[in-house]
Amino acid sequence: MLVIEQLQAAWPGLGCEERVVVTTGDRTQETGEPLPEIGGKGLFTLELEDGLRSGELDLAVHSLKDLPTEDATGVAIGAVCLREDARDCLVSREGLRVAELPDGAVLGTSSLRRAAQLHLLRPGFTLESIRGNVGTRIRKVRTGGYDATVLAAAGVRRLGLETEVAEWLPPESFLPAPGQGALAVQCREGDDRILELLHAIDDADARATTTAERTFLQELGGGCAAPVAAYAETVRGVADNASNSSSQGGASVRLRGLVARPDGGEVVRVTGEGEPEEVGARLAHEALAGGADRILADVRG
């Protein structure tokens, strides 16, 4: 596991035991229930957080995009690891790109964010729910259940499945989920020994950019299943260098955000630059004033 490798590289001789915990979200993969219909806080995290609080676990590793924006009671994010590719990517049965797929092509996605942006890119697609891990979703495309699906590039890369990708979708045209591509490591709140270990693998740029994106999501009042997208990049002056970026508080980021109706019928886009939490909150309020409040209210029903 990447996190264990990073910890042992930072702390030679550190002993680690990996334990697999099946969450409620994992169990629903088998039923194929659409995420927006069953989504809720803690769907992929509750059992892991219970293990941390009870002392059964010391660390829990998540895709940051799946974590609620508010920390669970007694639990903290001790590290945000070096961020992988934050983009989405398209896997299609015949290797066709988005622009090459025929009208009426069936695309599998359980993400309202992806559905909205697919409609914006190419009106005319038929979107159907798809569940399962990366390998399962690719197999469902290859066996003819879907013409294509959209996946997080980081998951595809970590599994070495780049050859399955028909098109990498750039943030300029297809914004990812807040926090996408980054790993988050949770631990018990106030556990100084564990927090010290995790500090060594916390990546300042990943922490800054994902903080801006997740603040945007939090201020909108949206959860990880909401039709909200955000992508931030660090901004450096001429005199800046890597040694000057060791703290999130001094970082400046450029943030792009989007809130859209799942059918693509209405979209609100915002951009701005500033300190991570400040710019995330500011752009969220700009989006709400620009109509995102109506979109999110309608989605919540």
- Catalytic residue (one of 26, 58, 66, 293): 66
pLDDT of residue 263: 95
Give the start-to-end residue ranges of the domains of the chain.
1-83+181-202, 88-169, 203-301
Q: Measured between alpha carbons, how far is residue 217 from residues 76, 116, 166, 189 in Å?
A: 18, 16, 29, 23
Q: May I ask the CATH class of domain 203-301?
A: alpha beta
CATH assignment of 1-83+181-202? 3.40.190.10
pLDDT of residue 250: 67
Q: May I ask the CATH class of domain 88-169?
A: alpha beta
What is the crossing angle of helices 192-199 and 2-10, to 10°?
90
DSSP state letter for 18:
-
pLDDT of residue 28: 59
Q: Which of 139, 143, 150, 144 is nearest to 107 (CA)?
A: 150
298 classed as catalytic: no
Positions of the chain with pLDDT lower than 50, given as ranges: 238-239, 241-247
Summarised one tens digit per residue, pLDDT across range 178-226 is: 999 999 999 999 999 999 999 999 999 999 999 999 999 999 997 777 8
pLDDT of residue 37: 55
Topology agreement, domain 1-83+181-202 and domain 88-169: yes
Summarised one tens digit per residue, pLDDT across range 14-28 is: 999 999 887 766 665
For residue 220, what is the enclosing H or E element?
helix 204-220
The structure's pTM equals: 0.88
Q: Where are the beta strands (DSSP E) in the chain?
A: 60-63, 75-80, 88-92, 106-108, 126-128, 148-152, 167-169, 183-188, 228-234, 253-260, 267-274
